[in-house]
Structure 1
Amino acid sequence: MRHADVTPALVAAETGRLVETAACFRNDAVLGPSLCEGWSRGHVLAHLARNADALVRVCDVALTGTADTMYDDVESRDADIERGARRSAHDHATDIRDSAARLAERLDALRPEHADVHVERTPGGFPIPVRMVPFMRLREVVYHHVDLDAGYTFASAPDEVVALLVRDAANRLAHDDAPPSLHLATAEGDEHVVGGGETRVTGAAADVLLWLARGRTDGVRFDGPVPTLPFGG
């Protein structure tokens, strides 16, 4: 699977699983910690909802021709997440469902001629090609569903999605200013070299992805010191 192979139907399927999880939370569970350092589950849920709305803005640039950016600025993005984090479990679940529905409507409306429209993440910031929006949303939904620490893990996602996310994470590492020197080899047979490929990292793809995303080493083997990753998620 490639980035371009991610369809609105695949995004909808993983979103449906996320909505089911969100609907099961009680208020005290929403306030509990997530796998994102410094964030509660409420922060993660608020971020997922606002990310859907931000990607709606990206799609609307292509669909309507109106100039806009994904976010107004980083500060307002962070403030929206913080403001929404302590809402009730019911309000979070409703927001997740409704914001995802708004985005699903836009994804279904996108056509090939919209693919190469570029939208800045923030004014003057990194330009996002609209063709990447389905993949971007899938990555957010899967990563942060795992972050909710409520039974869904990377192993719960389709194998082809996990393989794509491992490749994407390796590619992002390779383009970091100071990439680690890794040779990733998953039990499923995929291999990715980052930097000089000095340290061999092996394990099931889901376990390798959790290490790449959140630094968790369970199920992952290293043939030397555990490398320091410059980022996660």
Structure 2
Amino acid sequence: MTDPTTTPNMDFRTHLVAVDRHTELLLATARSLDPGSIGDPSLCPGWTRGHVLTHIARNADALLRLVTNAVTGSSEPMYDSPDARDADIEAGAGRPLAEQVTDLEASAARFAAASAGLTEEMSTVPLLARNNTKVKAGYLPFMRMREVVLHHIDLDAGFSFAEVDDEVLLALLQDTIRRLRHNPETPSMSIRTNEGDVWSIGDGRPIVSGTRAAVLAWLTRGDAAGVEGTLPTIPSLG
């Protein structure tokens, strides 16, 4: 039984391996899409599949900036501005699938090459991420892994949380619970997984249960199909 009230495992080397593995899964899904479906709705409100693929690519470049800051001591912003981030996603969303896949591959390769230069000494370097969020450099591989996995789901192309490695599921759940605990809008509840994890927020009521995959789908994507209990409203984590 696990009650991860402390910071979850953030071994950046472990997460870099997971990034590579789940990027390959994402690319396999992207390559399998019908080219005519690039404009189909995704699970992200207001976004098509093209928006999601473009966002994943631009996120790799944004996190690459932060990796470079950690390695060189520079201070480039993660994104030039919120408006510039949104404009880049909108501009790339309508591109043909083949161009999207090429961009996804190239941006992922750039991030992988740069993040290979992270060292244990650099892992504690403080950085400024999106929305003035402060993170340590060792957290960047996890941030990338989270984006790849969650937005792979958002493509709505057959990939599910049930296909995510169990250690990655646990890390994503731990991080999600941590962020929910820091959000004043999060309601009280107790979360229990079939794998034996227990998390409490507030007074621990009501009790919500399900597999790790099902609980993560509910907490992050509002899919309550596999969870049981009286379900409170979960605030968006962005």
- Which of the five TM-score ranges fits, normalised by the shorter chain? over 0.9
Aligned to 2:197: 190
Aligned to 1:81: 89
Aligned to 2:28: 20
User: Among residues 169, 178, 186, which one is paired with 1:171 in the alignment?
Assistant: 178
Aligned to 1:229: 234
Q: Which amino acid aligns with 2:96?
A: S
- Number of aligned residue pairs: 230
Aligned to 1:54: 62
The alignment's C-alpha RMSD in Å is: 1.5
Aligned to 1:127: 134
Aligned-partner Cα distance in 2 for 1:14–1:185: 26
- 3-state SS, counterpart of residue 185 of structure 1: strand
Q: TM-score, normalised by structure 1?
A: 0.94
User: Among residues 154, 158, 174, which one is paired with 2:165 in the alignment?
Assistant: 158
Moved over 6 A (4+): none
Aligned to 1:70: 78
Task: Return closer, same or farther for 1:87/1:42 CA change in 2, 3 Å cut-off.
Answer: same
Aligned to 1:36: 44
Aligned-partner Cα distance in 1 for 2:150–2:59: 13
Q: For structure 1, which segment, 144-153 or 97-106, has the greater mean C-alpha deviation from structure 2 after superposition?
A: 144-153
Q: TM-score, normalised by structure 2?
A: 0.92
Aligned-partner Cα distance in 1 for 2:184–2:83: 24
- Contact 1:212–1:232 under 8 Å retained in 2: no
Percent identical pairs in the alignment equals 43
Higher relative contact order (CA 8 A, sep 6+): 2
User: Among residues 45, 49, 61, which one is paired with 2:53 in the alignment?
Assistant: 45
Aligned to 2:3: none
Q: For structure 1, which segment, 25-34 or 102-111, has the greater mean C-alpha deviation from structure 2 after superposition?
A: 25-34
Aligned-partner Cα distance in 2 for 1:52–1:195: 35
Q: Which amino acid aligns with 1:221?
A: E
Aligned-partner Cα distance in 1 for 2:129–2:175: 19
Aligned-partner Cα distance in 2 for 1:171–1:69: 25
Aligned-partner Cα distance in 2 for 1:192–1:115: 27
- Contact 1:52–1:103 under 8 Å retained in 2: yes
Aligned-partner Cα distance in 1 for 2:88–2:202: 37
Aligned to 1:141: 148
Aligned-partner Cα distance in 1 for 2:111–2:168: 20
Q: Deviations over 1:125-171 (max 9, x none)?
A: 22221110110001111101111111111110101111111121111
Aligned-partner Cα distance in 2 for 1:173–1:17: 28
Runs of at least 5 residues in structure 1 that lack an aligned partner in the other structure: none
